[in-house]
Structure 1
Amino acid sequence: MEVPLLRRVLAEFLGTAMLVLFGAGSVVAAFAIGGGSVDYAGLGIIALAFALVVALAIYTLGTTSGAHINPAVTIALAAVGRFRWAEVAPYVAAQLAGGVAGALLIVAYVGDRATDFGGVGVTTLGGGVSVLEGMVAEALGTFLLMFTIMAVAVDGRAPAGWAGFLIGLAVAAEIMVIGPFTGGSVNPARSFGPYVVNDLFGGSSPWVDFWVYVVGPVVGAGVAAFSYELLARPVAAVPPIGPSAESGTPAAEMDTGTPGSPGSEVPTPRRGAAGARSRSKT
């Protein structure tokens, strides 16, 4: 049975809020402890925090909405026929709103000082990094994330129960590599929330660079999704769009039911650990 759109949208809102609260929140904590700066060891802790919250969002919300929690992931899945285009706008709106909510919760426990500790976790270009270089870095980081999602959450040949763990590791890896140059956002909603809230509480967000965190991730995710469909999936393994595109549940999570049982011709989501495999993001 298809999960109602409202329930899925609320799950995307909550998942993205969790991502920003505990992911961008770790940036605020690192700045607070580091006296206004973060070294590479601190970046590793931030990467671990993002990896853990992404994995938890997938395992808890994946069977409800697919746990995209990233507009770039939602758009890429729609582009390759794994998600309804008609539902892209509600998903993206919920993700952006969730990003703002998560950033507001950071201010709720840190106070106005959150704007002094990394601007509520805003992503910024590193010194000497151009807009074009930043877009390339974000595109490459998102490519790794989306290619992993396609392999472990969408592909029906993937082993059950590993999606959250492996997607979380992909997020940690990209932050460790491109974090010093762009912050390793790979997620427009993750950047949008802190940008908005930082401005609301007296900070100054670098909106002129915001498009780096939109164009880069969307392009990177799209290239990854099309590349996986073209190169890694045999035609026989590609299921029809219908059920997974309608429910927000990855095709890899669909069982065909028991032959002869009512409705067995319509796949239904698996439950338990296998059902936690999902199309998440940062």
Structure 2
Amino acid sequence: MLVPSMATQIPQTPTRRRFFVRTEENDAPRPSMLDISSSGHAGSVAVSSSSRLWLRMLGFVGPGFLISVGYMDPGNWATDLAAGSRYGYTLLFAIMVSNLMAILLQSLSLKLGIVTEQDLAQLCRARYPRWVSHLLWVFAEIAIAACDLAEVIGSAIALQLLFHLPLLAGVLVTGVDVLLILLLERRGFRTLEALVMVLIGTIAVLFGVEIILARPELAPILHDLLVPSKAMVTDPAMLYRHWNSWRDGDAAQSVSSLVAGPDAQLPAHHER
């Protein structure tokens, strides 16, 4: 069994390091599955050695932005806009709790990776029986496919609203975009980080402009953010928001109504 607190680092060459993790059975070091190269290969990136704290911290900002992309993908935007146009601020409490749980899980995963120098998949393979590892792999693939489906559909809806592209054409364009972004990895990890940071900055600016134009009332937002609504657990449509959005075809309709302007007719809000 792996003991994270007993992880040690043993240098092999001046330019390459191999990490070892001790085991309870024989207390002998064994190499982990991850090699770290000082040239930026196999998951490591160059970090400034400056004496200034803010310069050193900048080296760790990029990975944080890459992780944050998972919470602002097109699928999330489409579903959130559809849910907001239909239920108002009712689901804000659920969003806040979900984000707190995500922060906890991300921090635990981060600590686990720092201590063991292995990712979650490698640790599952090392700790669990083979059949359990294979089962977890199947579940992970299903989850990845489900997430990708929402992101691709969300991107296709956005392209349809902005450029009046058919959904099928939007799906194809999204697939090509993904391949183009992956090609940026050949130019280095920092290049991909820079692109993602620019995109996130653009989203933040546009979202801020939308907030200013919408002029939402602060009191209802704070109330629904801090006080849970009974409708979240009694209304089936809220419990299965993603399914109902795509099944009823109201996600694109709701987003289209929001883009059309304030005079457009929005779906009726459910009672709290």
TM range (shorter): under 0.3
Q: Which has the higher strand share?
A: 2
Question: Bigger relative contact order, structure 1 or 2, given CA contacts below 8 A and separation 6+?
Answer: 1
The structure that has the greater radius of gyration is 2
What's the TM-score, normalizing by structure 2?
0.27
